[in-house]
Amino acid sequence: MKSQLIKWSSLLCLTTSSWVLSAQTDNLTMTSTNRVNEVLEQVLTAYGGRDRMTNLNQVKIDFETTTFAVNQSKNPGPPWDENQQKGSTAIDLSQQQFATQNQGITQNFHNGTIINGDQSHQLNWRAQTATPIAEPNFLNTAGPFIRVTPALLVKQLMERSFASHYLGQVDLNGRPHDVLSLVMEVGPAISLYFDQETHLLHQSERFFVGFGLVGYRFHDYQTIDGIPFNRKFELFINEDKNMVRHNVNTTVNQPIDAQLQRPEGLRIVDPLQPDPLQRQTIADGVYLIGGNGTYAMFVDMGDHFIAVGGTAGLADRMRLLREVDADKPIRFGVMTHHHSDHILGAQVYAESGITVISAKAHEAVIQNAISVADAQLETVDKKRVFKGPKRELQVIDVGPTDHSSHLLVAYLPDAGLLFEADHFGLRSPNNIQPANQATQDFAAALKRLGIKAQKIVSAHSPRVSTLEELKQAVQMGQALTQQD
């Protein structure tokens, strides 16, 4: 079922009298505001009343989840990889405290996050580590949980109704729904679909430019402490089902102190530091540029640059490169693999007249991500060598791995330096995690293909890692596998 965003159909008449346009605009705004307030009062009644929503501060949900790796599977098309997980999330809105943990059932991981002032940590039970978070951000970390919990969305709507608009009425599954916008403090606006009879939230949507429509659907309500909570939630990405979550237990307005305690036995490692946008020189004429967990590498070939990586924010990273050399062109942009978060840069490259390089198996996915009519796209089967006046750069497909059936890395033999995505990267010093299967596959591929890189840079880390650190991670992962 494709959801339709509601558009106003009224036409404003052209006139030279500015006061007429102003009056019409005021009437439209007032009509929208009044309708928001009418719908909101009905919704608040359905969710237990304004006082109950005001006093809703603590929520804890235990869940079981099936994920479908839409645009994130090993292969570039369906059927998507499917995995099962279980976990719990707890939030205290009044204290801005948050705790979540997620454990793989079909995959071997057990991770968590605690946001609790100066006692905030990233947790990894498999590695037995707790990584302090230097600057915890409650809104960014808790936002995903709020967006999948209707009662918390209603509380947000109540508190931020001043920024809401009435978008109209739409039929959803044969029932009329009122659609309101909600502008949270972080992220794009959300469209909320409330059933006109029950006034419960059945669907919400957000749209991301360059990525598409993210839809949320809520089912099977039960009343807890006078407030309706859904027992089932579905996530869709561009109409493809990405997740089904069953909430097996929900508690309301109970202390979450136990969830905020760092588990005993986890070793404290160096803290996660803020990751601002920055440029690093990691070898002569080689720059790692990025921030907020996404990085690209730029290689000076003598008379041109080659860019490697396609994550978000690529245009900002290219602007920082221009502070080094404002005139030298970027001729090629290498896409590491087909996953949706790693092909956003293809459009940026194409708009700049840069030839996009991808694995041959990912050609169709990359092409579909580009809306430039005359975009230049070239592919790599197994290996392609770029030679310039200054150096040689090798683009090599090291797949398959447990993460992607094909994976392009960029290797600079003269510097002993390799750029990769999603397979190995250290976010903080002295915090080597046990290698998962994908990382072990990556390390084995380097050995099999005779790639003698001594330094490794990642699309998701500001740190330059070493081959020895990769070997240590692999040894730790293999030891845990033997214990299992």
Question: What gap in Å lies between CA 142 and CA 131, rounded to an integer?
Answer: 18
**Which pLDDT score is estimated for 484?**
62
Structure tokens given for 109: 């991981």
136: closest CA among 89, 182, 95? 95
Cis peptide bond prior to 263, omega within 30° of 0: no
To the nearest whole percent, how much of the chain has pLDDT over 70?
94
Q: What is the DSSP letter of 262?
A: P
**What pLDDT, in 10s, does the model give residues 34-86?**
999 999 999 999 999 999 999 999 999 999 999 999 889 999 999 999 999 99
| pLDDT level of residue 26 (50, 70, 90 thresholds) | low
Q: pTM to 2 decimals?
A: 0.86
358: closest CA among 310, 423, 288? 310
**Which pLDDT score is estimated for 15?**
29
Q: Looking at residues 383-406, what average pLDDT do you find?
A: 97
Instruction: Output phi, psi for 410, to 5 deg.
Output: -115, 125
Q: Which of 16-20, 393-397, 445-449, 468-472 is predicted least confidently?
A: 16-20
433: closest CA among 282, 266, 301? 266
| pLDDT level of residue 399 (50, 70, 90 thresholds) | very high
Where do the domains of the chain lie, and which CATH numbers do they carry? Answer: 29-268 (2.50.20.10), 278-483 (3.60.15.10)
Burial class (CB in 10 A: 0-12, 13-18, 19+), 251: middle
Strands (E), 350-445: 355-359, 377-380, 383-387, 392-397, 408-412, 417-420
pLDDT at 16 over 70: no
Is there a contact between 393 and 299 (Cβ–Cβ < 8 Å)? yes
Mean pLDDT of all residues belonging to the chain: 92
**Which pLDDT score is estimated for 273?**
83
Amino acid symbol at 168: G
Question: What gap in Å lies between CA 428 and CA 334, rounded to an integer?
Answer: 26
**What pLDDT, in 10s, does the model give residues 104-151?**
999 889 999 999 999 999 999 999 999 999 999 999 999 999 999 999
**Which pLDDT score is estimated for 214?**
94
End-to-end Cα distance, the chain? 43
**Which pLDDT score is estimated for 10?**
30
**Which pLDDT score is estimated for 20?**
39
Phi-psi region at 219: left, alpha or beta (left = phi > 0; alpha = psi -120 to 50): beta
Q: Who's near 323: CB < 8 A, 6+ residues apart?
A: 279
In 10 A of CB 59, how many CB atoms?
Answer: 26
pLDDT at 479 over 70: yes
153: closest CA among 252, 45, 31, 43? 43
DSSP 358-383: EEGGGHHHHHHT---TT--EEEESSE
SS (H, E, C) 171-230: EECCEEEEEEEECCCCCCCEEEEEECCCCCEEEEEEEECCCEEEEEEEEEEEEECCEEEE
Q: Looking at residues 296-317, what average pLDDT do you find?
A: 97
**Which pLDDT score is estimated for 13?**
31
To the nearest whole percent, how much of the chain has pLDDT over 90?
85
Is there a contact between 467 and 451 (Cβ–Cβ < 8 Å)? no
**What pLDDT, in 10s, does the model give residues 224-240?**
999 999 999 999 998 89
